[in-house]
């Protein structure tokens, strides 16, 4: 399966701290995407990184991709209570294959 | 900002009944998808649709499921005879290009009693 698998499963941090989560996958990819899901709601696309890119930034988000290790990381800097959500990486083979996600809780 | 919409937000049905879940993808998108998420589990791909036909489907998408784009704006998922295990959140998504970001709707929570 191409799906991404996130690590850790859960993360609890204080507001203002950084949150880092990792994703590993098994096969070659065209791109990898990160999504956020607030409890019981739809998925929101955060960032897409292509296989020929190593790092990408979007606001307080930084994503890295290491295709040799088949891994990606998502860093959220200066976290806020509103960042509390589940975060998923998804490998793309026209369809998205999601992992189980990392649940991030940001304490005020 | 354009968004994907889904109706209804919550559907309760009796086992064995047919349900139709509706989606309005972003208007200039060409690729359409259905995913589902059973409570507490991963988001799972069901089916992708392009150029008025199914381009890929998962093992979950058996002959009880069908999709249709009945007009230029709607994209529907039909479950012919619902089972208890069909209870889940169903998400519609669309994208402009095959490998680009997908925009998800808010989901329909299907409860089969």
Q: What's residue A2's pLDDT?
A: 53
pLDDT at A107 over 50: yes
Cα nearest neighbour of A4 on chain B:
B42
E-strand ranges in B8-107 read 10-13, 19-24, 31-37, 43-50, 53-57, 65-68, 75-79, 88-95, 103-104
Quick: pLDDT tens for A56-75: 999 999 999 999 999 999 99
Instruction: Extract the residue ranges of chain B whose pLDDT is less than 70.
Output: none
Cα–Cα dist A106/A108, whole Å: 6
pLDDT at A4 over 80: no
Quick: pLDDT tens for A71-101: 999 999 999 999 999 999 998 877 888 888 9
Q: What's residue A46's pLDDT?
A: 95
Q: What's residue A41's pLDDT?
A: 80
Report the 3 state secondary structure along A19-32: EEEEEECCCCCCEE
Cα nearest neighbour of A36 on chain B:
B104
Do A93 and B56 meet the contact criterion of CB atoms below 8 Å apart? no
Q: How many helices (H) and strands (E) does chain B have?
A: 0, 11
pLDDT at A108 over 70: yes
- How many residue pairs from chains A and B have C-beta atoms closer than 8 A? 54
Do A83 and A106 meet the contact criterion of CB atoms below 8 Å apart? yes
How far is residue A91 from each of residues A48, B35, B56, B96, measured CA to CA in Å?
10, 15, 16, 17
Residues A94, B56: C-beta atoms closer than 8 Å: yes
Q: What's residue B62's pLDDT?
A: 94
Q: What's residue A95's pLDDT?
A: 82
Q: What's residue A1's pLDDT?
A: 46
């Amino acid at each position: 399966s191409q799906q991404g698998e996130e690590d850790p499963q859960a993360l609890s941090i204080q507001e203002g701290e950084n949150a880092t989560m990792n994703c590993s996958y098994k096969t070659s990819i065209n791109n990898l995407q990160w999504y956020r899901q607030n409890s019981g709601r739809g998925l929101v696309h955060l960032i897409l990184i292509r296989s020929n890119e190593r790092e990408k930034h979007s606001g307080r988000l930084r994503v890295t991709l290491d295709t040799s290790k088949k891994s990606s990381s998502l860093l959220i800097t200066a976290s806020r209570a509103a960042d509390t959500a589940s975060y998923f990486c998804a490998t793309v083979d026209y369809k998205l294959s999601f992992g189980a996600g990392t649940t991030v809780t940001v304490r005020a | 900002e354009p968004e994907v919409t889904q109706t209804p937000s919550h559907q309760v049905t009796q086992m064995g009944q047919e349900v139709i879940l509706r989606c309005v993808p972003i208007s200039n998108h060409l690729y359409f998808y259905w995913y589902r998420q059973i409570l507490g589990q991963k988001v799972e791909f069901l089916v992708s649709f392009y150029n008025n036909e199914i381009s890929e489907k998962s093992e979950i998408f058996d002959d009880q499921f069908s999709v249709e784009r009945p007009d230029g704006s709607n994209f529907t998922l039909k479950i012919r005879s619902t089972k208890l295990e069909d209870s889940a959140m169903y998400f519609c998504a669309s994208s402009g290009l095959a490998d680009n970001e997908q925009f998800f709707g808010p989901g329909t929570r299907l409860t089969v009693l």
